Amino acid sequence: MDASGWDERYRAAWEHGGIWATEPPHFIRESVGSLTPGTALDVATGDGRTAVWLRQRGWSTTGVDFSHAGLELARARSGGDGVDWVEADIRTWVPPQQYDLVVVGYLHLVDSDSVLRRIAGWVAPGGRVVVVGHDVENIAAGGHGPSDPGLLYTPESLRAAVEPVLTVMRCERLRRGSDDGEIRHTADREAADAGDAVDAVLIAVRDRGL
Ligand SMILES: C[S@@+](CC[C@H](N)C(=O)[O-])C[C@H]1O[C@@H](n2cnc3c(N)ncnc32)[C@H](O)[C@@H]1O
């Protein structure tokens, strides 16, 4: 979907305050909650749930997305509490720095592998990337999300995209229940209630010497 398609979805969700849940995806909360705050980048931040959560926990946070309407919701949600919001296409954006933490939640592109390879280069020495996205098995499981397998991940595709730049710490397929509170916009919630969701997840770190 292009930026105008996402704008339309976010505008339709304005009265609900956003499409996605108010909290970040469970895997991101679980993987990041105990880390010492530093600089963080939320790739494809959408309506900003993860970026705002990181900021509230002391991270100096940048959220990047190509949807103007998504970022308007994110700004409204953050109440001006210091997230740096950047409107840009992730396929061509060049970040001004590397980050101690890079998070990627449910970014599904035809060229995800090459985009993730670029993103791996944005992790600072000693830093990490945390990725969660729908797995190809999500289609058969009936979970909410894209039905084109070319847009979806597998643990193997995630691993291959970031190695050898990063060292993989965790990489697996995770199943979560349909009613896990991930989505709040009514129309999307009905779709989400259809079945369990299957995610592919990754945590990878950059050695300090690289
Ligand atoms: C499923 S939403 C996930 C939003 C957010 N990460 C979350 O978990 O709440 C996918 C997001 O990716 C953004 N996106 C898709 N392609 C993009 C691109 N090429 N550059 C920047 N953002 C993109 C969309 O605008 C949308 O906000």
Read off the CATH number of the domain in which 139 is found: 3.40.50.150
pLDDT score for 22: 79
Q: Which domain holds residue 50?
A: 3-205
Report the distance separating Cα 159 and Cα 201, nearest Å. Answer: 10
Task: Give the mutation target among 11, 66, 122 for probing the ligand 1 site: most ligand atoms within 8 A of CB.
Answer: 66
pLDDT score for 185: 45
Measure CA 46 to chain center: 8
User: Per the domain annotation, does 69 fall within a domain?
Assistant: yes
Q: What is the pLDDT along the chain (210 residues), one digit of tens a residue?
A: 999 999 999 998 888 776 777 789 999 999 998 999 999 999 999 999 999 999 999 999 999 999 999 999 999 988 877 999 999 999 999 999 999 999 999 999 999 999 999 999 999 999 999 999 999 999 888 888 888 889 999 999 999 999 989 999 999 999 987 545 555 444 454 444 556 799 999 999 999 875
Report the distance separating Cα 62 and Cα 51, nearest Å. Answer: 7
User: Per the domain annotation, does 67 fall within a domain?
Assistant: yes
Token duo for residue 43: 């790739």
Report the distance separating Cα 22 and Cα 4, nearest Å. Answer: 23
In total, how many domains does the chain have?
1
CA of 82 to the centre of ligand 1 (A): 20
Q: Could you tell me the CA-to-CA distances from 172 to 61, 77, 88, 146 in Å, in that order?
A: 27, 32, 29, 19
Nearest CA to ligand 1 atom 26: 46
pLDDT score for 195: 65
User: Per the domain annotation, does 169 fall within a domain?
Assistant: yes
Name the residue type at position 203: I
pTM attached to this predicted model: 0.92
59 and 38 in contact (C-beta within 8 Å)? yes
Q: Could you tell me the CA-to-CA distances from 155 to 58, 107, 160, 193 in Å, in that order?
A: 30, 15, 9, 24
Cis before residue 95, ω within 30 degrees of 0?
no
User: Per the domain annotation, does 34 fall within a domain?
Assistant: yes
Ligand 1, residues at Cβ distance < 6 Å: 6, 20, 25, 44-46, 49, 65-67, 70, 89-91, 105-107, 109
Q: What is the β-pairing status of strands 60-65 and 167-176? A: unpaired
pLDDT score for 210: 56
45 and 69 in contact (C-beta within 8 Å)? no
